Every structure is written in structure tokens, then in C-alpha cells.
């Protein structure tokens, strides 16, 4: 059961397009978090979770129910990798905060979380997604830095692949 799935929450399609790109590169399934169920969690070993950020550093809306599904499932022994979409120019104080909220929602559930990313190369003032000096997953700013998205995804996939 060493299967991988990408699960995303997206309000206007940015995180959805990124999720599809990541899934295509990994050759794995992709689904909207609106369809997340305990069966989906149980049937996959590796879960790659993506959220955009809304409000002031908050999760994409559909993830609030999605997190409840995850928190009600048996996660020990599973591997998670997280990515987040944001806007570092308009929301530099809460850059990819949703990524941090996703991390806070699953940390301590017994799962392994891989794919932390250095803050070098990102311009922002503050982020809940930075823990111990690193982003807890892959931050992407497809609004201002779409030219960097593909390179960032490639490097991140190379980093997480040995753990999947």
C-alpha cells in the first residue's frame, strides 16, 4: 500500500493547478479536499497536502472539514509532505500562513512530515509556516513569482521522493 495522493484546497484554482502539476510529476492521484474521507486516508501511505492562504494567514476554507477527517483517522506510520500557495507581496506578514495551519493540524498525530524548505530565496516579513527557521513545506507564490514555481517544485520533489 505504498501509494501516494495529492490532496488540495483551492478557492480560485491556483492551488488546484499546482496540485495537478505535482501529481503529474509524481505520477500519482490528485483530489480536492472536499472529497476527503477516512477511506482515502486509510488507502494511501503518503499524503501530499496543499492549501492556499486566505484571510490573514488562514487555511483555505475546505481544509477545516478536511483536517477533521485527518484528525479522526489513524495517521501513525504515514508520511506527509505539505505545500502552500500565497502572495508574498500583498500578504508579506502572513505569507503562506495556511501552510503553517495545516502543519499545526497534523503535527503530533504520529505521522512523519517531510519536505521542509529553507527560507532563502523567499521575500516576506513573517509566516506561521516557518518553524525552527524553515518552512514546514513548500511555499509557492504563483501570483508574483510564477517563474520560480517549476524550479521550486522540481527541487522539492527531488527532496521528498526518497521518503515516499
Interface with ligand FMN (CB under 6 A) = 10-16, 52-57, 60, 85-87, 91, 94-97, 142-143
Nearer to ligand FMN by Cβ, of 79 and 94: the residue is 94
Beta strands at 46-54 and 79-85: parallel, antiparallel or unpaired: parallel
- CA torsion, points 147, 96, 8, 26, in degrees to nearest 10? 50
SS3 of residue 38 by DSSP: helix
Q: Which residue is nearest to ligand FMN (CB)?
A: 86
Nearer to ligand FMN by Cβ, of 46 and 53: the residue is 53
Nearer to ligand FMN by Cβ, of 57 and 115: the residue is 57
Nearer to ligand FMN by Cβ, of 54 and 83: the residue is 54
Q: In the bound complex, what is the minimum distance in angstroms from residue 163's beta carbon to ligand FMN? A: 25
Q: How far is CA 50 from the centre of its chain?
A: 3
Q: In the bound complex, what is the minimum distance in angstroms from residue 135's beta carbon to ligand FMN? A: 12
45 and 79 Cβ atoms separated by less than 8 Å: yes
Q: In the bound complex, what is the minimum distance in angstroms from residue 156's beta carbon to ligand FMN? A: 17
Nearer to ligand FMN by Cβ, of 4 and 60: the residue is 60
**Separation CA 9–CA 68 (nearest Å):** 14
**Separation CA 79–CA 140 (nearest Å):** 21
122 burial type by CB count under 10 A (0-12 exposed, 13-18 middle, 19+ buried): buried
137 burial type by CB count under 10 A (0-12 exposed, 13-18 middle, 19+ buried): buried
Amino acid at each position: 500500500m505504498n501509494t501516494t495522493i495529492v490532496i488540495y484546497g483551492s478557492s480560485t484554482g491556483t492551488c488546484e493547478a499546482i496540485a495537478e502539476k505535482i501529481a503529474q510529476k509524481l505520477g500519482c492521484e490528485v483530489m480536492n479536499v472536499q472529497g476527503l474521507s477516512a477511506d482515502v486516508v486509510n488507502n494511501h501511505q503518503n499524503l501530499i497536502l496543499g492549501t492556499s492562504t486566505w484571510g490573514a494567514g488562514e487555511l483555505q476554507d475546505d481544509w477545516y472539514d478536511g483536517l477533521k477527517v485527518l484528525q479522526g483517522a489513524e495517521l501513525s506510520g504515514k508520511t506527509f509532505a505539505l505545500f502552500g500557495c500565497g502572495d508574498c507581496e500583498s500578504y508579506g506578514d502572513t505569507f503562506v500562513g495556511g501552510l503553517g495551519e495545516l502543519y499545526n493540524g497534523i503535527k503530533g498525530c504520529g505521522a512523519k512530515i517531510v519536505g521542509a524548505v529553507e527560507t532563502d530565496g523567499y521575500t516576506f516579513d513573517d509566516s506561521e509556516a516557518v518553524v525552527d527557521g524553515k518552512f514546514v513545506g513548500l511555499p509557492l507564490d504563483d501570483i508574483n513569482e510564477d517563474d520560480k514555481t517549476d524550479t521550486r517544485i522540481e527541487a522539492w520533489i527531488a527532496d521528498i521522493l526518497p521518503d515516499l
